[in-house]
Amino acid sequence: MSAQLIIKTHSPWKFWLKWLVLLMVVSLVGWLMFGIGQKSAGQVNQTLQQEQNRLQEKLYQIGRDNTELREKYAILERTSQVDKESYSGISENLKNLQNELLELKQEVAFYRGIVAPSEAASGLHITDLTVDPLDGESGFHFKLVLTQVIKNEYVVRGRVRLFIEGLQAGQQKQLSLSEVSGGKIKDDLTMHFKYFQNIEGDIVLPEGFVPSSVVVDLLPTGKGRTRIKKIFDWADITSQG
């Protein structure tokens, strides 16, 4: 058997050449990957920036719309308030006009009775008594209307007395004008007129007093004049009734 001789040549520069080539390839790949990543990141960043700008613009528009809506709401609210006040004012004016019309109709009927005595009974009359509530629960304004229907001119003279009857603490009680007016109105009122006379004033009922009626007493002076007395139910002469 013959021996074989193997000769190996040692070339260190080839070894380092391979590592250099491998290093260059790795660096190239890394650089390419870095460039691709940077480009991709830039595109993503740009997209995000655009989206952020769009959202900011939308937010700004929403803010403007919100401000406009608030202003429109404020205008509508003020308009609604003005409309309510206008309607309330019109309603109040209409109510006042209706009340004035009613009063005028009553006055026309009243004067018709004076100028046409043949249509009414002659003599002295307690024509009307009204009691209207004032501010508060016990304050009232009363108005008494006296008339005379005659065919000749004759002046009525005399005194007028007015009493308020009711219950207090379960007991029947009668109050005079001086008692319910704090002394501002006399018990004996002067009666002096030819055709009609209005007597009115303010009164305050005592606490716990429940009125039931008002008594009007006319005491005319002169020959042939007779006393006239009339009782009015409280519920008929006051708007609280």
Domain ranges for the chain: 40-115, 121-237
| 132-144 pLDDT per residue, tens | 998 767 899 999 9
- Token pair belonging to 134: 């004032």
Residues of the chain with pLDDT under 70: 1-15, 35-49, 51-52, 55, 83, 87, 99, 101-122, 136, 150-153, 239-241
Q: What is the tens place of the pLDDT at every residue in 218-228?
A: 999 987 788 99
What are the two backbone dihedrals, phi and then psi, of residue 78, each rounded to the nearest 5 degrees? Answer: -65, -40
Tell me what pLDDT residue 66 has. 77
Give whole-number Cα distances, 185 to 145, 178, 200, 217, 240, in Å: 17, 5, 10, 16, 23
- Residue 184: the pLDDT is 92
pLDDT of residue 241: 46
The pLDDT of residue 40 is 59
Cα of 224 vs its chain's centroid, Å: 58
Nearest of 179, 191, 187, 185 to residue 218 by alpha carbon:
191
Q: What is the pLDDT of residues 71-81, one digit of tens each?
A: 888 888 777 77
- Cα(218)–Cα(186) distance, integer angstroms: 15
Residue given tokens 């290093």 in the structure block: 23
Superfamily of domain 121-237: C2 domain (2.60.40.150)
**What is the C-alpha separation between 50 and 15, in angstroms, rounded?**
52
Residue with tokens 């009782």: 231
